[in-house]
Amino acid sequence: MPRFEEIFQAGKIPLYLAPMSGFTDIAFRELCKEHGADVLVSEFVQSEPLIRDRERTWRDVDFTPEQRPMGIQIFGANPDSMARAAALLETRLKPDFIDINFGCPARKVVEQNAGSGLLRDLPLMEKIARAVVDAVPATCVTAKMRLGWDSHSLVHIDAAKCLEDAGIRVLAVHGRTKSQGYSGEADWEKIGEVVRAVQIPVVGNGDIRDAETAVRRVRETGVAGLMVGRGALGKPWLFAQIKNALRGKDAEPGAGTPTTEAVFSTLLRYAETLAKTRGDTGTENIRWLLARLHPFTYGVPGGKRIRAELSSCTTLADLHALLYA
């Protein structure tokens, strides 16, 4: 298995699946990998539950060998706890990289002075990064961040430089501030400024919803990689479409565009795999996973009807009957 950083040295643009709480579970990562995602990252987990050996948290970061190169994303505000959690991950799971979350804007994370809350305290951010880097000398440490707390306190250049100095080897930048959340448009001009300010690979993130946009962002900014988040929900084939577009004149027309039958087949397989993660045999109530299926129904014939009737499904058999009614 090549070292993780080597994916940036092959003259290609690696495509990441962004970590998204409640969505980038082991089943969805599997789908995205099949459709061309080069790098996968776990849903983010807090450092303390890992240290306390909480079974559910360790289950959330589990992955299969086929999903490599695979990273595990952690968050927290205590350098010692973050370092201990990283060391445990390195020992038990041996991920290809450990990613530090400095970008999550969720209130429950920011109130702990974690995630994007650390954009208000760059010295502590750097201390956390150094602690994790020192704790896992055999593992690449990466980070994801935003541009700043709000439009009046942009710190993307200073934050990127301090993380590079702390030993972070790849940096993903979401082109929004904490205050923006997921509203407005991602500022790729600012992402380009980070690319030019540091020597480490920079991965751009924000509003990559189609292949044409992806190609344009690479050309405009010079990013070393692209991270696809919400644009891939219900569209794991977006990765194949982007790869096809990046090939330019050698691209295959229509590559990566699924038929309605392929969409339904993928949706069903995803639901079945999700059910298996809880040990379901197919007869158990599947209402808990239905919200994850909604994105697959957009843009397909009968999609509006399917969404309206999804809530009536209680088993996998019900779901199959709905799709093929």
What does the pLDDT look like over 129-172, one tens digit per residue? 999 999 999 999 999 999 999 999 999 999 999 999 999 999 99
Amino acid, res. 277: T
User: Does a structural domain hold residue 190?
Assistant: yes
Taking only Cα atoms into account, the Rg of the chain, rounded to an integer number of angstroms, comes to: 20
Mean pLDDT value across residues 261-287: 85
227 and 162 housed in the same domain: yes
For residue 251, the SS3 value is coil
Please tell me the distance from the alpha carbon of residue 2 to that of residue 157, in angstroms, as a whole number. 30
Whether 196 has a pLDDT exceeding 90, the answer reads yes
User: Does a structural domain hold residue 104?
Assistant: yes
User: Does a structural domain hold residue 255?
Assistant: no
199 and 287 housed in the same domain: no
Mean pLDDT value across residues 87-99: 97
Decide which of 5 and 291 is more confident. 291
Q: What is the largest CA-CA distance in the chain?
A: 59
281 and 161 housed in the same domain: no
**Which residue in this structure is represented by tokens 């003259």?**
11
Whether 301 has a pLDDT exceeding 50, the answer reads yes
Mean pLDDT value across residues 303-324: 93
180 and 223 housed in the same domain: yes
132 and 169 housed in the same domain: yes
- Answer for the pair 54, 267: CB distance below 8 angstroms, yes or no: no
Structure tokens at 68: 């490599």
Please tell me the distance from the alpha carbon of residue 13 to that of residue 66, in angstroms, as a whole number. 20
Annotated catalytic residue 32: no
Instruction: Please identify, among 226, 250, 274, the residue that sits at the C-terminal boundary of a domain.
Output: 250
54 and 192 housed in the same domain: yes
The predicted pLDDT at position 283 comes to 63
User: Does a structural domain hold residue 288?
Assistant: yes
Instruction: Please identify, among 250, 270, 296, the residue that sits at the C-terminal boundary of a domain.
Output: 250
The predicted pLDDT at position 256 comes to 67
Provide the domain limits for residue 288.
260-323
Please tell me the distance from the alpha carbon of residue 131 to that of residue 105, in angstroms, as a whole number. 23
Percent of the chain with pLDDT over 90: 83
The predicted pLDDT at position 1 comes to 42
Q: 104, 140, 162, 313: which one is catalytic?
A: 104
Whether 2 has a pLDDT exceeding 60, the answer reads no
Whether 19 has a pLDDT exceeding 70, the answer reads yes
Decide which of 84 and 291 is more confident. 84
User: Does a structural domain hold residue 178?
Assistant: yes
Whether 62 has a pLDDT exceeding 80, the answer reads yes
Task: Give the mean pLDDT of the chain.
Answer: 93
19 and 138 housed in the same domain: yes
164 and 271 housed in the same domain: no
User: Does a structural domain hold residue 173?
Assistant: yes
User: Does a structural domain hold residue 143?
Assistant: yes
Phi, psi of 19 (to 5 degrees): -70, 125
163 and 138 housed in the same domain: yes
**CATH number for 148:** 3.20.20.70
**Which residue in this structure is represented by tokens 């480490």?**
200
The predicted pLDDT at position 119 comes to 97
**Long-range contacts: 83-87, Cβ < 8 Å, 24+?**
83/131, 83/132, 83/134, 83/135, 84/47, 84/51, 84/135, 85/47, 85/48, 85/50, 85/51, 86/47, 86/132, 86/135, 86/136, 86/139, 86/141, 87/135, 87/136
User: Does a structural domain hold residue 17?
Assistant: yes
The predicted pLDDT at position 149 comes to 97
The predicted pLDDT at position 252 comes to 63
Amino acid, res. 289: L
- Answer for the pair 318, 271: CB distance below 8 angstroms, yes or no: no
Least confident of 51-60, 268-277, 280-289, 304-313: 280-289
For the stretch 74-92, pLDDT in tens is 999 999 999 999 999 999 9
The predicted pLDDT at position 281 comes to 60
Whether 277 has a pLDDT exceeding 70, the answer reads yes
The predicted pLDDT at position 22 comes to 85
Beta bridge partners of 148: 154
199 and 77 housed in the same domain: yes
With 0-12 CB in 10 A as exposed, 13-18 as middle and 19+ as buried, what is 325? exposed
Mean pLDDT value across residues 176-183: 96
For the stretch 223-265, pLDDT in tens is 999 999 999 999 999 999 999 999 885 556 556 679 999 999 9
Whether 68 has a pLDDT exceeding 80, the answer reads yes
- Looking at the 3D structure of the chain, how many domains does it have? 2
Instruction: Please identify, among 250, 277, 306, the residue that sits at the C-terminal boundary of a domain.
Output: 250
246 and 270 housed in the same domain: no
138 and 264 housed in the same domain: no
The predicted pLDDT at position 5 comes to 80
| DSSP states of 21-34 | TTT--HHHHHHHHH
H or E stretch including 306? Answer: helix 303-310
